Amino acid sequence: MRRLVLSLTLVAPIAVQADIVVSTRTIRAKEIISVVDLELKPTDIAGAVTDPDLLIGQEARVALYPGRPIRDTDVGPPAIVDRNDLVVLVFSSQPLSITTEGRALGRGAAGDRIRVMNLSSRTTVSGRIRRDGQVEVK
């Protein structure tokens, strides 16, 4: 006859404290975050940023309040094109390259897609923002 032995192990949760990054002042949306705007707070909150180096130089997408945790979705790369900026539209299909002037209908950072109005034809096109501020359309 076989004997079945059950072993029960109780594991008590251990509270581990980690540092999260909080702002030292109210940072409005569209402001660039600097090192003096941040401090570490000893607490553990899921989804909060723990490394201040990830936030320095980023742009706040929403208002950040003092003492509150900052999540990575609250910040992003700084915008290089603002709404209503005049931008250069570039269409490139080797060996043909066409450039014209356009007006940005949105705001974004390098790599973001925005809508732009071609000032010559008054048509609206979508394109990706290049690092130099030009908008590439395909």
Fold that domain 19-76 belongs to in CATH: Type Iii Antifreeze Protein Isoform Hplc 12 (3.90.1210)
The segment(s) of the chain belonging to CATH 3.90.1210.10 are 19-76
Listed in sequence order, the residues at least 6 apart from 36 whose beta carbon sits closer than 8 Å to its beta carbon are: 24
Report the largest interatomic distance among the alpha carbons of the chain, rounded to a whole angstrom. Answer: 91
What are the pLDDT tens digits along the chain (138 aa)?
A: 667 666 666 666 655 567 899 999 999 999 999 999 999 999 888 889 999 999 999 999 999 999 999 999 999 999 999 999 999 999 998 899 999 999 999 999 999 999 999 999 999 999 999 999 999 998
Going by C-alpha positions, the residue among 58, 90, 57 that lies closest to residue 72 is: 58
Nearest residue to 81 (alpha-carbon basis) of 128, 123, 36: 128
Task: Report the DSSP beta bridge partners of residue 126.
Answer: 115
CA pair distance 57, 122, nearest whole angstrom: 36
> Start-end ranges of CATH 2.30.30.760 in the chain?
86-137
Please state which of the four CATH numbers 3.60.15.10, 3.40.50.2000, 1.10.10.10, 2.30.30.760 is assigned to the domain occupying 86-137. Answer: 2.30.30.760
Please say whether the dihedral angle defined by the alpha carbons of residues 76, 80, 83 and 89, taken in this order, is positive or negative.
Answer: negative
